[in-house]
Chain A
Amino acid sequence: MRSSSVLALAGVTALSASLLAACGGGDEKGGGDAIKVTASDGACEVAKTEIPAGKITFKVFNKGSQANEFEILRPDGKIIAERENIGPGTTINFVVNLAAGDYKALCSAGQTGKGPSKDIKVTGAGGAAGSADPRLAKASADYRTFVLAQVDDTIAKTQKFADAVKAGDVEKAKALYAPSRMGWETIEPVAEKFGDIDPKVDAREADLKPAEKANWSGWHLLEKALWKDGSVKGKERYADRLMADLKNLRGQMGTLNLDPVNDMAHGAKELLDEVATGKVTGEEEAFSHTDLWDFKGNVDGAKKVYDLLRPVVQEKDAQLAKDLDDNFTAVENLLAKYAKGDGYVSYDKVGESDRKSLADAVNALGEPLSKLAGAVAK
């Protein structure tokens, strides 16, 4: 029996509605006020284009054959909010808080950021672009500043790394490799929003399809050359390409608008997921074993998000704030045990029981962190 029919039988719809009332946001299944959007490969139909200001739910159905992306933009093209990965045949509810003004609703089949759009007019009092809470608006703006600074940092350090690669200086390149990635690892979920860049700069060989191997590029290609082959001869062009891709990313980030729930809180959770599945296992840096550097970058990125959202979390769920405070401290203290020089010990020197302790600490932090988005959206 499908869960949806199970629910229908017992009338759980009422229960979910009351839960929603308590939480004040999110998924409003079957809500009468939701505005139907039908996205297809060539069209974007919006059932209602004059909408009262405030919290608005778009019920987006993708009847096309490609994954779709739904965006709300200002007339000048700046993205207010977006929802990615709407699979063919699926329906999602997308909640956005809009003040009076003119907007565009855009459907992008294939998730290129381009596609058909409809003009919508929001009227009346209430609502705010992005966020009703001025603290969240500030957190969002501060996070944007942080993200851009981290990308600038990774570009500057990767330039030095790329120079060493091009000079054929293996030892110097090895020393500069892990530091060049720290900024990237700190803001990785944001970088992943620019879908085509991430696989170009950060793909691991083991994750590629056979057909993709010929086009493999990025940090991990150079990592393998440096540590496995001991030579970067003939790899100079990959150093140039890495720089070009990162600069391309930075160029695209000019209109970046980061949502406190979807980009910040969910992004922080994704950073911890990265640690739990890639770093704790030692899979990320299979040749250089510099996993703990990435680990630190991921945790720092999540911590930054939490620090910016903390005043709101403290007010809405004080116990969650305490759990996050305690567990960030625990992870940071544990990680500090492996500090060596300007960085960290090689992960192949970290034994099984130490890895278990790291995994325990990451799980202990990841669980409350997964509740951050819900607390912020309350």
Chain B
Amino acid sequence: MAGDGERAARMDARMSRRRMLGFGGASLVVGAAAGAGIDRVVAKSGGDGGGSDVTSPIPFHGAHQAGIATPVQDRLHFAAFDVVTGDRAKLVRMLKDWTAAAAAMTAGKPVGAGAVGGPEVSPPDDTGEALGLPPSRLTLTVGFGPTLFEKDGKDRFGLKAKRPAALVDLPHFPGDNLDPARSDGDIVVQACADDPQVAVHAIRNLARIGFGVVSVRWSQLGFGKTSSTTPDAQTPRNMFGFKDGTRNVAGTETDALDKHIWAGRPDGAEWMAGGSYLVARRIRMHIETWDRTSLGEQEDVFGRDKNVGAPIGQRREHDAVDLAKLKPTAHVRLAHPDSNGGTRILRRGYSFTDGSDGLGRLDAGLFFIAFQRDPRTGFIRVQNNLATDAMNEYVQHVGSGVYACPPGVQEGGYWGETLFT
């Protein structure tokens, strides 16, 4: 096993996948975009706010972790891990190894000494399925669950005193039917990329590096983004066929991000300054009954027109919502900041379909992801307000988790450095 220094040296010696493509690179990228569908190209041609384009890698290092305010990619692989060792030093060592691997993969480079060209008698460091693929705007975002700080009354890693007040255990919400096997976890990694193979490659390699320290508790694939942090881009439709999340916090709204999304120094946990709190909910949709629902009722449930996404009583998607014109139980009305004391959350969810269940129903829905400065005033407040949501007849929350995502990693640093030092 290579030490940290050796790993770093190998990384310098290595070439990025993009450079390996050489003169063939540009055409490959075009091919990849075309293969994924025209809608994706259209969605991005409007610009990505942050100044990046679809072919450039998203920088890994920075004040905030990438994968929150950065433009939303098309695919998701979200993995929750349990820590299986009690050894804090081993956990820190793994986080350092993870960080090095994440920095490489997000830049389009393979892990460690690469997938090919190494000694024949050894398994390659990188598993190889992303070889030849562009970086695909891969972002990897890490978060720490409440059980990392304290589990069954035990302060496992000497972190109990550092648990932020905002990292509360989520309360039971009306209608919850949570499966423990799809909930919680000590550490989560959100992998988002425009190519599903790149996202899956990232989680697979992190899981491999983590063997003996962490074990995958559950994971979720998402095949289509349902939100955008780039207001100029088309708002994607969810599995109900509606545009939802039109008024998401945009990556360019620095004031709103500072006020509602990034944790601040005065919030109580100094190590979280520049970080954010992630709430994940696996929301199963009752697809079959929804599809039998009349168009009029569907639009009343959302409070939006199904065609262009305009709020009821308005003409265009981005027109201001007149709450009084919506039914008191309309989803948009109850979720709107004006109904929640002005609170805003940054939504970054994905549609999922995990095949069908034993009753022949599509096992599909929304893997809801939201980032916020404080879940107590963010998700918890909004979700409680949704108790009377007409949509509840068509959805059920079956998985749940809340995690503290630390601030971004500086060059030479590692994920969670502010927590562990």
Contacts and interface: CB of A to CB of B under 8 A. Distances in A.
Interface of A: 1, 3, 6-7, 9-10, 12, 15-16, 18-20, 23, 25-27, 29, 93, 95, 261-262, 265-266, 317, 319-320, 323, 326-327, 356, 360, 363-368, 370-371, 373-374, 377
A261 B211 CA distance: 24
Nearest to A27: B120
B118 A19 contact: yes
B84 A19 contact: no
A363 B121 contact: no
Given A16-B118, A27-B120, A360-B84, 10 more contacts: A6-B131, A9-B24, A19-B118, A319-B1, A320-B1, A360-B215, A371-B122, A374-B119, A377-B119, A377-B121
Contacts of B123: 370-371
Contacts of A25: 119, 121
B140 to A, nearest CB: 20
Contacts of B211: 360, 363-364, 366-367
B121 A16 contact: no
Nearest to A356: B215
Contacts of B212: 323, 326-327, 363-365, 367-368
B1 A9 contact: no
A142 to B, nearest CB: 21
A368 B116 CA distance: 19
B20, B117, B128: residue with the most chain A Cβ atoms closer than 10 Å: B117
Interface stretch (B11-19, B72-80, B98-106, B281-289): B11-19
Nearest to A360: B215
Interface string B374-403: 000000000000000000000000000000
Interface string B187-213: 000000000000000000000100111
Contact of B15 (A10, A26, A27, A365): A10
Secondary structure dominating the interface of A: helix
Interface in B116-163: 116-123, 128, 131-132
A364 B210 CA distance: 8
30 contacts: A1-B24, A1-B132, A3-B116, A3-B132, A6-B131, A9-B22, A9-B24, A12-B117, A15-B13, A15-B15, A16-B116, A19-B113, A19-B118, A23-B122, A26-B119, A261-B121, A319-B1, A319-B3, A320-B1, A323-B1, A323-B212, A326-B212, A327-B212, A360-B84, A364-B212, A367-B212, A371-B122, A371-B123, A373-B122, A374-B122
A15 B131 contact: no
Contacts of B84: 360, 364
Given A12-B15, A371-B1, A26 B122 contact: yes
Most buried by A among B20, B23, B121: B121
Contacts of B213: 364
B419 interface: no
Interface of B: 1, 3, 13-15, 19-24, 28, 84, 113, 116-123, 128, 131-132, 208, 211-213, 215
Nearest to B119: A26
A229 B1 CA distance: 49
A1 B133 CA distance: 10
Nearest to A28: B120
A75 to B, nearest CB: 28
Contacts of A6: 20-21, 131-132
A313 to B, nearest CB: 11
A19 B22 contact: no
Contacts of A3: 116, 128, 131-132
Given A12-B20, A364-B84, A266 B121 contact: yes
A3 B113 CA distance: 16
The 10 A-B pairs at the shortest CB distance, nearest first, are namely A364-B212, A374-B122, A27-B120, A16-B117, A26-B119, A26-B120, A9-B22, A367-B211, A373-B121, A10-B20
Contacts of B13: 15, 18
Nearest to B14: A15
A336 to B, nearest CB: 18
Nearest to A377: B121
A196 B132 CA distance: 41
Contacts of A371: 1, 122-123
B121 A374 contact: yes
Contacts of A19: 113, 117-119
Contacts of A327: 212
Contacts of B20: 6-7, 9-10, 12
Contacts of A368: 1, 212
A61 to B, nearest CB: 16
A12 B211 CA distance: 30
A329 to B, nearest CB: 12
Contacts of B131: 3, 6
Nearest to A352: B181
Contact of B22 (A10, A95, A374): A10
Contact of B19 (A10, A16, A27): A10
Nearest to B82: A360
A108 to B, nearest CB: 21
A370 B121 CA distance: 9
A377 B132 CA distance: 29
Contacts of B23: 9
Contacts of B132: 1, 3, 6
Contacts of B15: 10, 12, 15
Nearest to B116: A3
A363 B84 CA distance: 12
Contacts of A370: 122-123
A27 B119 contact: yes
Contact of A317 (B1, B113, B128): B1
A20 B116 CA distance: 12
